[in-house]
Amino acid sequence: MKGFLNEIRRPIKISLSRKILYSALAFIAGVILGVISKVFDETASNLLPYFLEVLDLRNFFSRMGVWIFLAMLISVYSKSPVRSAINVFLFFVGMVGSYYLYTVMIAGFFPKSYMMLWIIMTVISPFMAFVCWYAKGKDVIAISISSILMFISRQTFAFGYWYFDIIYILEFLLWIATIFVLYQSPKQIIKVVPIGLLLYFLTAQTNLFWGTKMYPL
């Protein structure tokens, strides 16, 4: 099995000190972003600087898309699938932990159902990250994984019988950024994007976790 996986993408060995550094940075980034997200939640939009109000970062950070993108970014740029699993897990531990500690200890309420959902997602995140790491590999398996990651389209677009629209401009930018992150060659990305969009259209009416927010509305 190890030889088969190495044919898709081969891990890169790094020193123990670099492993600790990268994992610590992932955790710290999660803590900072979790606190920032909660501060935006607790601040009325009209009290934010005008450019932040226009960008609607309060709603942006409460949605799933940005966290999927950041987890994918950490995963594919880690040096091995095991490092990917560890780094993404620590990122979510930091983000979810700081967000809900702030919610309970400072904001003074306890959204149990939402918190449990994000805890479950944190627990399964290393397994997803392990698989995601191979998206930057080669052959049909890497293309398949990359296409599934294009499911971020579900956070970006909405369509019906007579319309096709962009839901959030910021998430459209994340969608574009996802293409750049997954890009390896013109031939590869020409396969990835259409397959990902096809999967989106086929499953657009299925309710997975895509409407999940950090807090109840």
Largest CA distance in the chain: 56
Task: Name which of 191, 204, 193 is nearest 164 in CA terms.
Answer: 204
Element spanning 50, H or E = helix 50-55
Q: Is the pTM of this model over 0.75?
A: yes
pLDDT in tens, the chain (217 residues): 777 888 889 999 999 999 999 999 999 999 999 999 888 887 766 666 766 777 777 778 888 888 989 999 999 999 999 999 999 999 999 999 999 998 888 877 777 788 888 999 999 999 999 999 999 988 888 988 888 887 676 667 776 666 667 777 888 888 899 989 999 989 898 988 888 888 777 766 565 554 555 554 4
Phi, psi of 122 (to 5 degrees): -65, -40
Domain ranges of the chain: 2-203
Supply the pLDDT for residue 161.
63
CB-CB contact of 168 with 156 (8 Å): yes
